[in-house]
Amino acid sequence: MIHVALPGRDIIITARQDATLAGALRDAGHPLNTRCGERGSCRGCMVLLGPGVYTDLDGHRLEMAEGAPPREERGCRWRAQGAVVITVPAASLLESTGRVVDEMQLPPFTPASPVAQQPLPHRPNRVQTTLQLGGASHRVRVLPAGVVRRALGVAIDIGTTTVATALVDLADGSVVARAGGYNQQNQSGADVATRIGASMVPGGLERLRRQIVEETLNPLLRELAAAAGCHRTDIVALSVAANTVMTHLMLGHPVEAIGRIPFTPLFRHFPVVTAAALGLWAARGAAVACAPAVSGYVGGDITAGVYTSGLLCDQRPSLFIDIGTNGEIVYTEGGRMLATATAAGPAFEGGGITHGCRAMRGAIETARLAADGALQLGIIGGGRARGICGSGLIDLVAVLRRAGVVNRVGRLQPGVAAAMGRLHHPPDGKERGFVVVPEGASADGPAIVLSERDIAELLKAKSALRAGILTLLDEAGRSPADVANVHLAGGFARHINPENAVAIGLIPRFPSATLRFLGNSSLAGAYLTLTDPAAWETMRLLADLPRTVELNRCPTFEDHYIDSLMLPGDEEDEP
């Protein structure tokens, strides 16, 4: 029996024999952030061990006495022996209530219904529904004549971290319901590289397939149907846009080859299959189309996004940038296209940051310094802060840099922070930080601190993206000044302050570009595949256009990466 102090409330759970604390919490519906796939190599699932007896995976025994200071350990490494008391900090929970972005922006298009009803030849009392999807016609259901049923489709964006869906009435293209949630593959690791690793162990591929189909998509499909008051068999079309690894895993295809040179996926163009073949909760004959991928690391979500952006119709140098756990960058100039992917890691989604969290209720999402020097924080949902999400992190570092609290390499200037009364300086002298929310003023009680280590994590993430952009421009023979359009896609990008993104060097300054935020362009592309007759064929051609650039093979990447690690500032103190 485990007594668990969650943020704001306590619960009692029972653990399966041999279940780790992380496993027991997951079974109880409170999954921890096991972003390394429970390998014990990250600090996502840290919990505080209180009174009781524990054993770790190597069999070491630990007895915590009543009244002893709790010990911070990884939830994936320890098991409870009998009754124990543990505390789970907010930052360690894989919050199931995060903000999943499903705002879509659509380009102008001429909608047309992909469904048609005709009597079956030789059986005039039966009517068949045919669906145009993925470049072919599919017979998706047969009904008795006179029975009128809706024909619905679902647009699905599968991100590495989050999944967004929209239920679409195929008769008129209207969105009748929306649902979103976390990708349950998070349990198997936070990024595509870890998931590829997880797919290679015996039974791993099937586990990942089940996590996405049965534990993520099917509950969302049921939720959509319940919201719209429709039946399972009314769902006759599913259009999926996802990165190449996610698409393969949903279809049950191996992904090993994407993990090593030359990173070639099994498929770039995916055959249309039936919902029954995949085990998806929809009409058995429903057709499932997946957006074609450019390469192993530039997937159908990017094909869908670039199509949605309309950049193909602009002859000027333009960039499409999808900021997430992986950053994908596409350069277009008329028909000429270059594409690349860069591993930013989970910092933008709160991963690896001491008080980091996803963009959930209680997350600090904005920060600014008022004229009187006071730090003003914007908190999702109002109330007290629980942690810092990606956009808040960017704002904070930009603000601290402007105020001279941090130098160019992200080190705190203790005097400046102390003068503001915000220096966090623990007795051991390590993990110095800036107090964002003082003790007692946060939702959970303890102070919310941005440590120097956290800033270093952000520097690594943002330099990966900025270096990727600059290297791709080098490959195109262009500079940021040449770029006319910058389209930023992805849930995270929707909420960042562009001025601060430039101020911390997340993206270069584009002096003559028009900046546009596309929102979830992957979902938008999946939606257009259902409703825009031109979408599929154009995406099919588009996926074959870009030349894929492998950043690690580019001579300028390392230099750009190290340059981009620094926070922009006065030229004099440039290292």
Strand order in the sheet with 287-290: 175-182, 162-169, 152-158, 235-242, 287-290, 273-274
- Single out the residue of 173, 181, 410, 546 in contact with another protein (rule: CB under 8 A): 410
Q: Are strands 326-333 and 318-322 parallel, antiparallel or unpaired?
A: antiparallel
Among 421, 384, 438, which residue's Cα sits nearest to residue 7? 384
Shortest Å distance, C-beta 510 to another protein: 24
Instruction: Return the range that interacts with another protein (CB under 8 A); candidates 159-167, 315-323, 379-387, 426-434.
Output: 426-434
Shortest Å distance, C-beta 455 to another protein: 8
Residue 167 or 196 with smaller CB distance to another protein: 196
Q: Is 40 in the site for another protein (CB under 8 A)?
A: yes
- Per-residue DSSP letter, 360: -
In angstroms, the Cα distances linking 252 to 182, 188, 247, 468 are: 19, 16, 9, 31
Residue 1 or 200 with smaller CB distance to another protein: 200
Residue 417 or 459 with smaller CB distance to another protein: 459
Residues 531-550 that bind another protein (CB under 8 A): 550
Shortest Å distance, C-beta 74 to another protein: 13
Shortest Å distance, C-beta 207 to another protein: 15
**Sequence-ordered list of residues with C-beta below 8 angstroms from that of 441, at least 6 positions apart, any chain:** 384, 385, 447
Residues 333-392 that bind another protein (CB under 8 A): none
Q: Is 194 in the site for another protein (CB under 8 A)?
A: yes
- Single out the residue of 193, 403, 416, 502 in contact with another protein (rule: CB under 8 A): 193
Tokens linked to 245: 């690894």
- Single out the residue of 369, 409, 443, 447 in contact with another protein (rule: CB under 8 A): 409
Instruction: Return the range that interacts with another protein (CB under 8 A); candidates 8-16, 189-197, 243-251, 537-545.
Output: 189-197
Q: Are strands 547-548 and 514-519 parallel, antiparallel or unpaired?
A: unpaired
> Would you report the helix, strand and coil content of the chain in percent, each value rounded to 5?
30, 30, 40
Phi, psi at 23, each rounded to 5°: -65, -45
Among 22, 28, 23, 24, which residue's Cα sits nearest to residue 47? 22
- Single out the residue of 33, 463, 521, 531 in contact with another protein (rule: CB under 8 A): 463
Instruction: Return the range that interacts with another protein (CB under 8 A); candidates 24-32, 369-377, 405-413, 490-498.
Output: 405-413
**Sequence-ordered list of residues with C-beta below 8 angstroms from that of 224, at least 6 positions apart, any chain:** 154, 165, 167, 177, 178, 179
Instruction: Return the range that interacts with another protein (CB under 8 A); candidates 70-78, 377-385, 535-543, 560-568.
Output: 560-568
Contact 285, 277 (CB under 8 A): no
Shortest Å distance, C-beta 404 to another protein: 17
Shortest Å distance, C-beta 88 to another protein: 25
Q: Is 469 in the site for another protein (CB under 8 A)?
A: no
CA–CA dist 209, 263 (Å, integer): 21
Report the number of secondary-structure helices (H) and strands (E) in the chain: 14, 29
Residues 246-305 that bind another protein (CB under 8 A): 256, 259-261
What are the residues binding another protein (CB under 8 A)? 39-41, 193-194, 196-197, 200, 256, 259-261, 409-411, 429-431, 452-453, 456, 459-460, 463, 550, 552-553, 558-559, 561-562, 565-566, 574-575
